[in-house]
Chains A and B, each alone.
Chain A
Amino acid sequence: NAGVMQNPRHLVRRRGQEARLRCSPMKGHSHVYWYRQLPEEGLKFMVYLQKENIIDESGMPKERFSAEFPKEGPSILRIQQVVRGDSAAYFCASSPTDTYYEQYFGPGTRLTVT
């Protein structure tokens, strides 16, 4: 059973470009969480999704950031018009059903905005 997959592992974007980060949950997991780890800071919750539903996006910046988890395919975290402050490690985690199960983390995507 493959773990949580994230790609790309490293992504470099120029200011103003779009970044698309992908997360494939573990097989059988229908719940996905995205977290951001800014340089020298701790992890912060961004968004919680189930298939085709955003359950909680209270940690998402109001502008330029969006997330989806379609019926088929990976979850996508999309950052439009990236700025230097978006440079961070973005982790996704998945769990089998609801929030009361252990979360399994992916390896993360390191976004660098130049």
Chain B
Amino acid sequence: KNEVEQSPQNLTAQEGEFITINCSYSVGISALHWLQQHPGGGIVSLFMLSSGKKKHGRLIATINIQEKHSSLHITASHPRDSAVYICAVRLGNDMRFGAGTRLTVKP
């Protein structure tokens, strides 16, 4: 079993839909990151969380430390949100990555 599990693996949505991507982890962590990787391959760090909730524009990230679970929400999705979203957990110096969720938003 992977230490970081993401669901779903693939997600197709219509423009304007509300999107949720889930991340569960099985180890004690110091922080959790949500990353976005575009088709060109570049990686952007969206959020770093250790508790609670963060919001940036149309993106919201939450984490429940007791349940070892985090969610990334996208409101009013847009085709430019199409990317792979990766959950990563910090274990000291190390970072363990989920396999990613491939999101496609259709116009």
Contact = CB atoms under 8 A, between A and B. Distances in A.
Contact of B94 (A42, A59, A103, A105): A59
B33 A103 contact: yes
A107 B41 contact: yes
A31 to B, nearest CB: 10
A61 to B, nearest CB: 15
Interface residues of B, number: 22
Interface of B: 30-31, 33, 35, 41-45, 48, 86, 88, 90, 92-100
A45 B45 contact: no
A42 B95 contact: no
Contacts of B86: 42-43
Given A42-B97, A42-B98, A43-B97, A99 B45 contact: no
Q: Contact size class for A? A: 20 to 34
A35 interface: yes
28 contacts: A33-B95, A35-B95, A42-B97, A42-B99, A42-B100, A43-B86, A43-B88, A43-B97, A48-B94, A55-B93, A56-B92, A56-B93, A58-B93, A59-B94, A91-B43, A93-B43, A99-B30, A99-B90, A100-B31, A100-B90, A103-B33, A103-B95, A105-B35, A105-B44, A107-B41, A107-B42, A108-B41, A108-B43
B94 A56 contact: yes
B27 to A, nearest CB: 14
A65 interface: no
Interface in A77-110: 89, 91, 93, 99-105, 107-108, 110
